[in-house]
Chain A
Amino acid sequence: DAKTTQPTSMDCAEGRAANLPCNHSTISGNEYVYWYRQIHSQGPQYIIHGLKNNETNEMASLIITEDRKSSTLILPHATLRDTAVYYCIVTNNNAGNMLTFGGGTRLMVKP
């Protein structure tokens, strides 16, 4: 799996958009960008993934640059319950391919 670089921590005001960046400059053409988050003492939760087009679901939006070397996860209206560690992972979609977790970004949503 390609490596990713994320800021160690970020703060966001409740109700505001949280924009979490991720650099993945060595991503391969067949690798997707996945985002997971881990709330304290729980297993990681899938958020969203994409290949090259921007994606949106009920949880978040994913913006991938045209050269695919970086992406941004957007939580449009952050709540206190969004406080978690957010992991950006690049991997292909082959069955049985493991996920390699980096350090992630610790997002603190403040009232």
Chain B
Amino acid sequence: GAVVSQHPSWVICKSGTSVKIECRSLDFQATTMFWYRQFPKQSLMLMATSNEGSKATYEQGVEKDKFLINHASLTLSTLTVTSAHPEDSSFYICSGEGRSGYGYTFGSGTRLTVV
């Protein structure tokens, strides 16, 4: 089946530093990948849509200069949280469309803690 590999699974960083999260589609080509954020006891909230070879589309309220998304190939999308602050601490999840017509495949998520 379709697999999305996401890493790191967890990261702790100091306030003001940047963190990069990678998502790779292992057995399919992902023209589009989605990045979600999930705070404790809440549902997933879409942050941005990442399209291979073009600029990402950000949801309202998501700072594009803070959350840098790169989708340079059909198998790799990255999210960089720049100048991280404690309020950026969250669970970040990516997803891509795997097997056609069978919904999206999600990565295992990255728990970011900013101290």
Residues A93 and B43 in contact, CB atoms below 8 Å apart: no
- B75, CB-defined interface residue at 8 Å: no
Residues of B within 8 A of A42 (CB): 108-109
Q: CA of A43 to CA of B31 in the docked complex: distance in angstroms? A: 20
Residues A95 and B32 in contact, CB atoms below 8 Å apart: yes
What is the size category of the interface that chain B forms with chain A?
A: 20 to 34
Residues of A within 8 A of B4 (CB): 43
Please judge, given known A-B contacts A34-B103, A95-B97, A96-B31, whether A43 and B109 are in contact too, CB under 8 Å.
Answer: yes
Q: CA of A34 to CA of B101 in the docked complex: distance in angstroms? A: 11
- Majority secondary structure of chain A interface residues (helix, strand, loop or mixed): loop
Residues B102 and A43 in contact, CB atoms below 8 Å apart: no
Residues A46 and B43 in contact, CB atoms below 8 Å apart: no
Residues of A within 8 A of B36 (CB): 101
- Using a Cβ cutoff of 8 Å, how many contacts connect chains A and B? 55
A36-53 interface bits toward B, Cβ cutoff 8 Å, 1 = contact, 0 = none: 101001111110010000
Known: A95-B31, A96-B97. 14 other contacts (CB 8 A): A36-B103, A42-B109, A43-B4, A43-B6, A43-B93, A43-B106, A45-B106, A46-B104, A49-B102, A98-B49, A99-B95, A99-B103, A101-B43, A104-B43
Residues of A within 8 A of B102 (CB): 46, 49
Shortest CB-to-CB span from A67 to chain B, Å, is 23
Residues A49 and B111 in contact, CB atoms below 8 Å apart: no
User: Which of B43, B91, B109 lies in contact with A102, CB distance below 8 A?
Assistant: B43
Residues B103 and A100 in contact, CB atoms below 8 Å apart: no
What is the size category of the interface that chain A forms with chain B?
A: 20 to 34
Residues 5-29 of B at the A interface (beta carbon under 8 Å): 6
Residues A41 and B109 in contact, CB atoms below 8 Å apart: yes
Shortest CB-to-CB span from A5 to chain B, Å, is 13
Shortest CB-to-CB span from B4 to chain A, Å, is 8
- A15, CB-defined interface residue at 8 Å: no
Residues of B within 8 A of A34 (CB): 103
